[in-house]
Amino acid sequence: ALIALTSCEDILSGEDGELSSNDIVLGLKTALNVGTDSSTAMLSLKNGYYGDELVKILLPQEAQYLEEKINQVGNIQYFSSVTDEISEKLDDLVLAINRSAEDAAADAKPIFSDAITGLSIKDGLAILNGQVPNSQTKSGTSFDSLAATTYLKQQTYGALVNAYAPRINSALDKKIVGNASATSLWNEITGRWN
C-alpha cells in the first residue's frame, strides 16, 4: 500500500514535486465535467428549472406586458374573474415552459463534454489564470473569476441553441400541464385577452 501511495504521489506531482501543466489542465477538465454533469442532471429533474429562481425561465417581454395589463384591469370588479383566469393560465404557461426545458436538459451534457474535452493545455492554463481563452482582453489585466463560464458559453452556445430549440419547440406542443401544452396555453391566453 505504501508503494502504491508513493507512486500516486509521484504521478500527481511529477519528477520534481510540481504538478505538470497536463495534470493541472486534467484537474480543471475533471472539475468542469463534474460541475456540468451535476448541473445538467439537476436541471433535467422535475423542478430543475421551475423550482430554482436562479434559472427559472420567465415569460418573454411580450407576455410580461400582457401580465402587467391584466393586473391593471384585474383591479376593476367586472373584469376580475376573467383576469384571474388569464393570470392562472400565465402561471401554467411558465410551468409548461420550464417543464419543456427540463425535458430538453439532458441534451446539454454531451455538448459541455465536447467543449471540455477540446480544452487545450494553453486554454486551460489561461482559464486558471483568470483569462478567457481567445478573448480580446490583454493577458496580465485583471483576474476574471468567470473565465471558465465565459469559455463554456463561447464554446457551447450555438450547439446548445441547436439542441434545445427543436426539443423546446416539440416540448412546447407536448401536453405537460394538465391537459394543455405551453403553445395551447399561450394561444388561449392571447385569445382571451384579445
Cα(109)–Cα(114) distance, integer angstroms: 9
Classify 177 as helix, strand or coil: strand
Q: How much is the pLDDT for 191?
A: 75
CB 99 within 8 A of CB 176: yes
CB 94 within 8 A of CB 58: yes
Cα(64)–Cα(160) distance, integer angstroms: 25
CB 33 within 8 A of CB 111: no
0.75 cut: is pTM over it? no
121: exposed, middle or buried (C-beta count within 10 Å: 0-12, 13-18, 19+)? middle
Grid look-up 434545445 returns 164
pLDDT tens-digit profile, the chain (194 residues):
333 333 334 444 445 567 788 888 888 889 888 998 999 999 999 999 999 999 999 887 877 777 777 777 666 665 666 667 767 777 877 887 888 888 888 888 899 999 999 888 899 889 988 999 887 655 556 888 899 999 999 999 999 888 878 877 776 787 766 677 777 877 877 777 66
Q: How much is the pLDDT for 56?
A: 94
97: exposed, middle or buried (C-beta count within 10 Å: 0-12, 13-18, 19+)? buried
Q: How much is the pLDDT for 131?
A: 92
